Structure 1
Amino acid sequence: MIRVVIAEDQQMLRGAFASLLKFESDIEVVAEAPDGNQAWEAIRRHRPDVCVLDIEMPLVSGLELAERIRNAGMPCKIVIVTTFARPGYLQKSIDAQVDAYLLKDEPIDFLIESIRRVMNGERVISTDLAAALFMKEENPLSEREAEMLRLTKKGMSTDEISKALFLTKGTVRNYLSSAIQKLEAESRQQAVNIADEKGWL
């Protein structure tokens, strides 16, 4: 029996995944979670064979959760599901050693088949996502510049970022200005949107 934890913040989709998987005689859904923190607790408690993780969840993202699972040395297989065919996200998933990376608009049979395939040691990537790998762009941002954009995305002002990171406001503005220039954006918010779209934040 393949024991599965499903983490997905959209209740209807999470329920649909669970209901359809329960029809399979060799798959048991042992827990469902609406956010990354509850998913982590469920994974620690149930020690599933496979974790099906939404890439964008409240509190802890699917990618952060994948890294946590790997850092904890847990042997469970990781299946990331996403609506986004972003090369940056796919690269991060590969770096996090996930076992499958699937688009949510794939047929449910593909998810079921993928769960069985990763249990057999295979790696599965949706065809459309595999094509995205070859369109991968190099991230031009330094880690500091990306950090500034991440904090801007959270709604923090220059003043708040400077206090949080113990940097002068001028230094913060310089990093943001550099990021805006590299991304050929017209504002810091546009730079955030571009970097986020490409999976660089």
Structure 2
Amino acid sequence: MIRVLLADDQHLIREALAMMLDFEEDLTVVAQCGRGDDVLPAVTAHDPDVIVLDIEMPGLDGLSVAELLPGRAMLILSTFARPGYLRRAIAAGVRGFIPKDASSAELAEAIRRIHAGGRYLDPELAASAMMAGESPLTDRERDALALAASGASVADIASRLHLTEGTVRNYLSSAITKLGAPNRLTAIHQAQRMGWI
């Protein structure tokens, strides 16, 4: 029996997924989490074979959770099928990434394949990621742009990143230039659309 942990902040979706997976003879859902910061304690308590993560969750997003669980068999199941998310997930050791509109049979097959040590990537998303290329942003530019996207002021970003305000402005300006955007708001939207922040 393959033991599965489901993490998704949408209760109805999580419950439906759990019911569908429990119909499979070789799968059982041993834990469910509605917040990203609940996943690590649930992994410790239930020791699942495969962890299925949504990306957008309160507490910690699914990609951040994946980065905290190296060596675990993990699958991202998300409506946000962005190339940058796929690249970040793979860098964190995630072995599967499929959209939420996949069939229950496809999800079950993905879990089985990941449990067996393989990979399962949505072909359209994989092709998009290859065509999109790498993010042109440095880690600091990405951090500054992500904080700006959350509404933080330059002073707040400087405080959070332990930088001067001038350095933050330079990072933001560099990110805008690299993305070929006319302004910060457009740069934020472009980076979000690609999954780079």
- Fold agreement, TM-score > 0.5: yes
Report Cα offsets for 1:35-78 as digits up to 9, x if no partner: 111122111110101111112211111111111111xx5xx411
In 2, Cα distance between the equivalents of 1:112 and 1:29?
12
Which runs of 5 or more residues in structure 1 are unaligned?
A: none
After the TM superposition, list the runs of 4 or more consecutive aligned residues in structure 1 that deviate by more than 6 angstroms. none
In 2, Cα distance between the equivalents of 1:163 and 1:89?
27
Report Cα offsets for 1:6-35 as digits up to 9, x if no partner: 000111111110011111222111111111
1:91 aligns with 2:87: yes
Deviates more, 1:172-181 or 1:9-18: 172-181
Residue 128 of structure 1: aligned partner: 124
Residue 75 of structure 2: aligned partner: 79
**Which of 147, 153, 175 lines up with 2:143 in the alignment?**
147
Query: What is the Cα deviation at residue 81 of structure 1?
Result: 0.7
Match of 1:45, as an amino acid?
A
Provide the secondary structure at the position in 1 that maps to 2:53. Answer: strand
Which runs of 5 or more residues in structure 2 are unaligned?
A: none
TM-score (norm 1): 0.91
In 2, Cα distance between the equivalents of 1:159 and 1:120?
48
1:104 aligns with 2:95: no
Query: What is the Cα deviation at residue 149 of structure 1?
Result: 0.6
Query: What is the Cα deviation at residue 198 of structure 1?
Result: 1.1
Deviates more, 1:7-16 or 1:160-169: 160-169
The verdict on how the C-alpha distance between 1:37 and 1:167 changes in structure 2, with shifts beyond 3 A counting, is: closer
**Which of 160, 168, 174 lines up with 1:172 in the alignment?**
168
**Which of 173, 178, 181 lines up with 1:182 in the alignment?**
178
Residue 23 of structure 2: aligned partner: 23
Report Cα offsets for 1:174-198 as digits up to 9, x if no partner: 2212211221223222211211221
Percent identity over paired residues: 47
Residue 133 of structure 2: aligned partner: 137
Match of 2:76, as an amino acid?
I
Provide the secondary structure at the position in 1 that maps to 2:127. Answer: helix
The verdict on how the C-alpha distance between 1:172 and 1:21 changes in structure 2, with shifts beyond 3 A counting, is: same
Report Cα offsets for 1:127-161 as digits up to 9, x if no partner: 21122232132322222211211111222101222
In 1, Cα distance between the equivalents of 2:151 and 2:31?
33
TM-score (norm 2): 0.93
Residue 3 of structure 1: aligned partner: 3
In 2, Cα distance between the equivalents of 1:144 and 1:116?
37
Are the counterparts in 2 of residues 85 and 128 from structure 1 also a CA contact under 8 Å?
no
